[in-house]
Structure 1
Amino acid sequence: MTKTKLFALMGASTLGLMISANAVSAQQSGYLSFLIDNGPQSVAVAEAWVAAYTEKNPDVTIDIEVRPGGGEGDNIVKTRLATGAMADVFFYNSGSLFQAINPTQNLLPVTNEPWQEGVQESFKSVVSAGGEVYGTPFAPAMGGGIFYNRGIYEELGLEIPTTWEEFMANNEKIKAAGKTAVIQTYGETWTSQLFVLADFYNVLAAEPDFAEKFTANEAKFATSPAALRGFEKLQEVYEAGYLNADFGAATYPDGLRMVATGEGAHYPMLTFGIGAIAETLPDNLDDVGFFAQPGDSADSNGLTTWMPDSVYIAKSTSSPDLAKDFVGFIGSPEGCDIRNEAVGATGPYMIAGCELPSDVPPAVSDMLPYFQEGGNNAPALEFLSPVKGPALEQITVEVGSGIRSAADGAALYDEDVRKQAQQLGLAGW
């Protein structure tokens, strides 16, 4: 029997969704709290995992708490860890943001757990600190790029762009047809970062050592022409009048709805949005395609990729063995199958034995060639450098809204990065 109720978490917490599962006998027994972000796909897959796990282990109760995404969610995670009030198990980022939550102090290592044998080494590298592994992937790998409405492309006879010039030409044709060319959803500020973050494949194509120099304080966004381009692209689409009228208030679910239903043609986003579309707009799933954010040369067209977010165990948990068993269930082929059933396939998995179904949505099919042998992809900067300034999403809102120029935004972000690097104690800062 499963009960769901809403409750208020004050101070370090937020509005949450509680799901308690109870039954009569169990292989495992005990209680876990489980903190996730409020994305529709996160809620759907967490509910499915809890239902499946507690069906196998009826004497286990798991309560799911839901937090916001973006900077507000980051603050909640950091505050709850710092105060010893973190849930037993929780979703959070891998890469640079993982390093910022002091994993050796706050998290329980899972290095030697048996399920870790099936996790790809490339993922372990972005959830490791002090020689220990702390995370397990709860989602497939992702691409950062642009969702597009296939119906609009067919109606207007548009081709998939491989250069920024071609992309802007498509936008002009879409605007001339009386449609919204580029959807932005600054009502949730984290979504404003994509034109900058997803451009990093193009940065590496121009400056292959940018990540190393950036980490060593030898390269800056404001002084690197290739890195500055992401901010310039934000400014260009705004100044060209390509955005939806409500871009300042629209939210992530609005953006997915608009691109899926043809209210807009393009939505810069991470491919985990495919799962949210499958959950909330299943009838429109086949109407959405995906392509990598174009650079300035078709010869170097490729995809900026994100390692999946991770599921972690708080060191403060009072049920470490149960927490490890539940996380191992999430990080198993069975856990992947449950995810596929709950939210659909959204990309390649980082766990051995996890397979994609044959009937993946078009946006997933569009992404897979970038990951196949001979495909062009490169990690996002946050997986090559521990430095990511926390104010980027506020700065990109300003640049993308015409409040601040691209050059000023890049310079302000460099200052934000300096503060973060000093907090991390990096050499050269």
Structure 2
Amino acid sequence: MPIHTTRRLLLGAVAGLALSLTAMGPVFAQDPVTLSFLIDNGAQTIPVAQKLAAAFEAQNPGIKIDVESRPGGTEGDNLIKTRLATGEMTDIFLYNSGSLFQAINPQQNLVDLTDEPYEANVLDSFKKVVSSDGRVYGVPIQTAMGGGVLYNKKIYADLGLSVPKTWAEFMANNAKIKAAGKTAVIQTFKDTWTSQLFVLGDFYNVQAAEPDFAEKYTANQAKFATSPAAVKGFQHQEDVLKGGYLNADYGAATYEDGLRMLSAGEGAHYPMLTFAIAALQQNYPDNLKDIGFFALPGDDAAKNGLTAWMPAGLFIPKTSEHQEEAKKFLAFVASTAGCDIQTEAVGVTGPYLVKGCALPADAPPSVTDLLPYFEKADGNAPALEFVSPIKGPALEQITVEVGSGIRPPADGAALYDEDVRKQAQQLGLPGW
């Protein structure tokens, strides 16, 4: 075959190949980045994470998000620490703010987000609980919460009761509710974590009485057992038990049982974090308007206020190979669009800690009951776990024992002080 004929055939083949490649699109188009995202397995967390991921993917077609869930509680804490220690953490993970955040050694393990533009959208109250040595490592997901008492407004209306602002008023209400044949205080010790609210939710009152308690507690200079204010949380558990105000099955009842009893008007009070409002909205929407909220009352009505829980945070480990894409997702979550998607997913249980995020006009009464505590000067104070790095892991077992009459309040407080000592020593805090 003549050389010029062969050359024409070769050029034609090359041109044909070029045309076919052009029709197929760019040969070297970059594959989508997949971000792994670890969350807890909470009933409200999963739909929020899934909807945020879907909305973000729709706006960012080059990024995919693979959502993975983990257990809650101690098992989940251990998994987080193990993955960070072994370098096997996901690109983004959801975890507690406050003391548990401090326990994962953020300066060593997490990407510093202090100078990211979206941190300007985050309220300072949240930044404080995801900071270490003045550097910020997370953004909030979901809303702030209150620790106090969910109550049945219909029972209150039927019996002519008013929201109590002192412990004495609360106990007087309990007596009237019991006399009316209702359970005054719902307890659900089958799910041990629910037993802690009388202690943890009382910290606003502890701080009101002893403003420097958290500082001294962290320095090993104050104890639950020897603080007249701090021991009262344990004492209150004994008060409601000895008063005969609990549901008969308090030892076997679950969190879900507690929500059902409250919604059905079988019980009047359920000491609980306000994140439970989302579960009430999902499972008992017809009764949601009957549920209100008030802070755990202390001794002085003039100092009535709320113990507040900061929301969980989203964090990026230093081991992530896709840090810039992960930061882009965090920026999306910490925006008004991110807030709106979370509201759409599970409703609201309190205020968002992102600037510009508003609550819907049809927010449940229990949420609107919560807002005045955030709007009033000195109306709320962070729970102890957000102002001290120390929180002992055995509290929920101890409060079950105290709340069941197995252990006296003073002994429970002393046992918790010893439980706290182990963690303080593990963290290497001075004075322990």
For the criterion TM > 0.5, the same-fold answer is yes
Deviates more, 1:224-233 or 1:47-56: 47-56
Q: Report the secondary structure of 2:97's partner residue.
A: coil
The 5-angstrom pairing of residues 153-302 of structure 1 reads 153-302=156-305
CA shift for structure 1 position 414: 0.6
CA shift for structure 1 position 27: 11
CA-to-partner distance for each residue in 1:281-323, whole Å, 9 max, x for gaps? 2222212100000112212111111221111122222322221
Letter in 2 for 1:376: G
The answer to whether the aligner puts 1:91 opposite 2:94 as a matched pair is yes
- Is the contact made by 1:162 and 1:301 (CA closer than 8 Å) also made in structure 2? yes
The answer to whether the aligner puts 1:339 opposite 2:332 as a matched pair is no
Corresponding residue for 1:101? 104
Corresponding residue for 2:318? 315
Distance 1:383 1:223 in 2: 22
Deviates more, 1:397-406 or 1:221-230: 397-406
CA-to-partner distance for each residue in 1:13-46, whole Å, 9 max, x for gaps? xxxxxxxxxxxx9999311222222222112211
- Is the contact made by 1:127 and 1:133 (CA closer than 8 Å) also made in structure 2? yes
Corresponding residue for 1:405? 408
Corresponding residue for 1:77? 80
- Is the contact made by 1:53 and 1:329 (CA closer than 8 Å) also made in structure 2? yes
Residue ranges of structure 1 left out of the alignment (5+ in a row): 1-24
The 5-angstrom pairing of residues 338-357 of structure 1 reads 338-357=341-360
Q: Report the secondary structure of 2:231's partner residue.
A: helix
Distance 2:235 2:217 in 1: 19
- Is the contact made by 1:41 and 1:279 (CA closer than 8 Å) also made in structure 2? no
Larger Rg: 2
Q: Report the secondary structure of 1:126's partner residue.
A: helix
Query: What is the number of residues matched between the two proteins?
Result: 405
Deviates more, 1:79-88 or 1:283-292: 79-88
Corresponding residue for 1:118? 121
- Give the structure-1-normalised TM-score: 0.89
Deviates more, 1:329-338 or 1:230-239: 230-239
Corresponding residue for 2:7? none
Q: Report the secondary structure of 2:211's partner residue.
A: coil
Alignment match of 1:368 (pick from 363, 368, 371): 371
Deviates more, 1:121-130 or 1:61-70: 61-70
CA shift for structure 1 position 88: 2.1
RMSD: 2.0
- Give the structure-2-normalised TM-score: 0.89
Residue ranges of structure 2 left out of the alignment (5+ in a row): 1-24
Q: Which structure has more helix as a fraction of its residues?
A: 2
CA shift for structure 1 position 59: 4.3
Deviates more, 1:340-349 or 1:196-205: 340-349
Alignment match of 1:138 (pick from 121, 141, 145): 141
Letter in 1 for 2:275: F
The 3 A distance-change label for structure 1 pair 76 and 175 is farther
The 3 A distance-change label for structure 1 pair 28 and 397 is farther
Percent identical residues: 66
Corresponding residue for 1:147? 150
Deviates more, 1:232-241 or 1:401-410: 232-241
Letter in 1 for 2:288: L
CA-to-partner distance for each residue in 1:172-210, whole Å, 9 max, x for gaps? 222222222211222222221111011011111111111
Distance 2:62 2:377 in 1: 49
- Is the contact made by 1:40 and 1:279 (CA closer than 8 Å) also made in structure 2? no
Corresponding residue for 1:304? 307
Alignment match of 1:29 (pick from 5, 28, 32): 32
